[in-house]
Amino acid sequence: MTDCNMDAALAEPIARMLNALPNEWAITLRYRSGPVSIERAKQDLRALHARIDRGHLGRHFNKAPVSSRSLYWAVAEDLHDNPHVHTAWIFPDRPHALAMLRFLGNDGWEGAYSPGGSHDVQVYDPSDNTYGRHGWATYALKAMQTCNNVIISDTAQIAFADRLRIHTS
Could you give the CA distance from residue 107 to residue 119 in angstroms, rounded to a whole number? 9
Q: What is the DSSP string of the chain?
A: ----B--HHHHHHHHHHHHHS---EEEEEE-SSS---HHHHHHHHHHHHHHHHHHHH-TTGGGS-GGGS-EEEEEEE-TTTS-EEEEEEE-SSHHHHHHHHHHHHTTHHHHHT-TT-EEEEEE--TT-TTTSHHHHHHHHTTT-SBGGGEEE-HHHHHHHHHHHHHHH-
Please write the tens of the pLDDT for every residue from 134-146.
678 888 888 777 7
Could you give the CA distance from residue 105 to residue 121 in angstroms, rounded to a whole number? 10
In order along its 169 residues, the chain shows pLDDT tens digits of 445 666 666 777 888 778 776 667 889 999 999 999 999 999 999 999 999 999 999 999 999 999 999 999 999 999 999 999 999 998 998 899 999 999 998 999 999 999 999 999 988 766 666 656 667 888 888 877 777 888 989 988 887 777 656 555 4
